[in-house]
Amino acid sequence: MNLDISRAEWRISSLSGANGQCVAVAFMENHILVRHSKEADGSVLVFTPGEWQAFTGGVRLGEFDLPA
């Protein structure tokens, strides 16, 4: 896979707070890109649509909630 992420249009949640410490997400060429919002030159995770749906579905179901 050879994505030119320099063309990615990154989105940051409006709920990220005043310090902006959040993840940034971009949708590009049938892939979902994720990075730390404060490290634009840092590592980027790349997901397929199926992987992204599995992850976001798990979030909605509480699979990644901290233990009580």
Burial label, 55 (beta-carbon count in 10 A; 0-12, 13-18, 19+): middle
Q: Does residue 30 lie within any of the structural domains?
A: yes
Domain count, the chain: 1
Res. 7: pLDDT tops 70? yes
Q: Does residue 68 lie within any of the structural domains?
A: no
Report the predicted TM-score, pTM, of the whole model to 2 decimal places.
0.81
pLDDT digit string, tens, across residues 14-49: 777 666 678 899 999 899 999 998 888 899 999 999
pLDDT of the residue at 20 = 63
pLDDT of the residue at 16 = 73
User: In terms of residue numbers, what domain contains 35?
Assistant: 8-13+20-60
Q: Does residue 54 lie within any of the structural domains?
A: yes
pLDDT of the residue at 27 = 96
Q: Does residue 53 lie within any of the structural domains?
A: yes
pLDDT of the residue at 40 = 84
Res. 60: pLDDT tops 90? yes
CA angle 14/58/17 to nearest 5° reads 20
